[in-house]
A and B are shown apart, each in its own frame.
Chain A
Amino acid sequence: MEKLIKRIVARDEEALNELYRAMHHRIVAFAMQRLGDAGLAEEVMQETLFEVWTHASRYANESQASTWILGIARHKALDKLRKLQQGKPWLEEMSDEHLEIASAEMAGVERVVQAQRSAALHNCIKELPPVQRECLHLVFYQEFALEDIARLQDCPHNTVKTRLFHARRKLRACLDACGHGDLS
């Protein structure tokens, strides 16, 4: 990915295309866990990659390119969140509706159980404080190393560990309470 950034510095549009294909879902999923809305998450993705295109020369190779890109996405998502923080309950409700629709459309008992488990987990994750939720996403979805998460969240390594420790404990308690504690 670092090579792609170098090509983007040289205004290579095909490199931007490749970067889009590589990072599209990762950025959307990352923004989703902050914003809870696919449309806004997609806006974040586009604004992020456009900023990469216009400011690729700012990438300093101090971290992985994906960490740098998600760092931009994080700022964009937080900006949007600040603008939306005037209490819009539909933002939170939308993902529930989608999960219910997805559940209803799944055929077979096993898939329904899986959908319920997945819905329970998503609901429990939503209950976590945003920084803990983000931490969990960065570890398990983005598969970031401890150092990268600390850099992205701009905090010491131990803070990341503590956030994750609390996230895991709360998640387990929440899943136990809704009968999906074993996650299997």
Chain B
Amino acid sequence: MNDAMLPLESQNRFLEWLPWYVNGTLRDDDCRKMDLWLAADADCRADLAWMQSLQHQVRSESPEVALVDRQAGLDRLMAMVRAEETGKLTHLPTRQSAKPALSSGLQRWYKPVMAMAATLAVVQVGILFLHMNEFEKSDTLRPLGSTAPGTATARQVMIQATFRVGVSEAQIQDLLTKVGAEKVSGPGALGVYTLKVPADRAEAVLAELRRATRMIDTATVLPR
């Protein structure tokens, strides 16, 4: 090939367009100019080779991305969708676009259902308010809807668990759901999570966490 140095302006344009030439989104007429410059200049070809290698490396999947559990993520997304759909009735009046989609059968029931939903919402707010007041008075951690403080089921035990490096947040969440523990805080700088579990299940949960040796280094009950 008979190489000749490109004029500076062409060189600059070449370097400017090169990334999009490599990723295949450059316009056809610009691509043709690039082809001509590449045929004429060895430096351009070296730049192209370097950038193609760069793209190859960038596209090679990073280990962290590969670790992400695709199916578990999809399950969680669909659970969010279901939860959103369950709560849809209470939101319908504010969504104009949803109204025309209601079937005639549903329209007949629409008003009574909405009235009931509104009543429920008021009751829920009242219950929440009462629980918030109780929570402020109590120094015991307790999930909403549990029995009054002082009873065995209302007590919570805090567990500190250290997860192994490489375990994804999704995997951790799955394990916590499986064993019935709830995350309070974490991860800390060393991958430490603080979890809470009902006192009457603490022993069983701790045993289950300790059995998950592929994910957890240590699990201990925190002193009260």
The interface of chain A, by Cβ under 8 A from chain B, is: 13, 16-17, 20-21, 24-25, 28-29, 32, 37-43, 45-46, 49-50, 53-54, 57, 88-90, 94-95, 97-99, 101-102, 117-118, 121-122, 125, 136-137, 139-141, 143-146, 161, 164-165, 168, 171-172, 182-184
Contacts and interface: CB of A to CB of B under 8 A. Distances in A.
Contacts of B57: 117-118, 121, 183
Given A17-B74, A121-B57, A50 B81 contact: yes
Contact of B59 (A16, A42, A140): A140
Interface of B: 15-16, 19-20, 22-25, 49-51, 53-55, 57-65, 67-68, 70, 73-74, 76-78, 80-81, 84, 97, 165-166, 168-170, 172, 187, 189-191
Top-8 shortest CB links A-B: A39-B169, A145-B25, A183-B53, A38-B64, A140-B58, A102-B63, A140-B55, A143-B23
A118 B60 contact: yes
A45 B73 contact: yes
Contacts, number: 134
A89 B102 CA distance: 52
A121 B58 CA distance: 8
Contacts of A182: 50, 53
Contacts of B74: 17, 20-21, 24
A118 B165 CA distance: 20
A16 B79 CA distance: 12
Contacts of B77: 16, 20, 46, 49-50
Given A13-B81, A39-B168, A140-B19, A29 B24 contact: no
Contact of A13 (B62, B73, B78): B78
Contacts of A101: 63, 165-166
A29 B78 CA distance: 21
Nearest to A180: B57
Contacts of B166: 97-98, 101
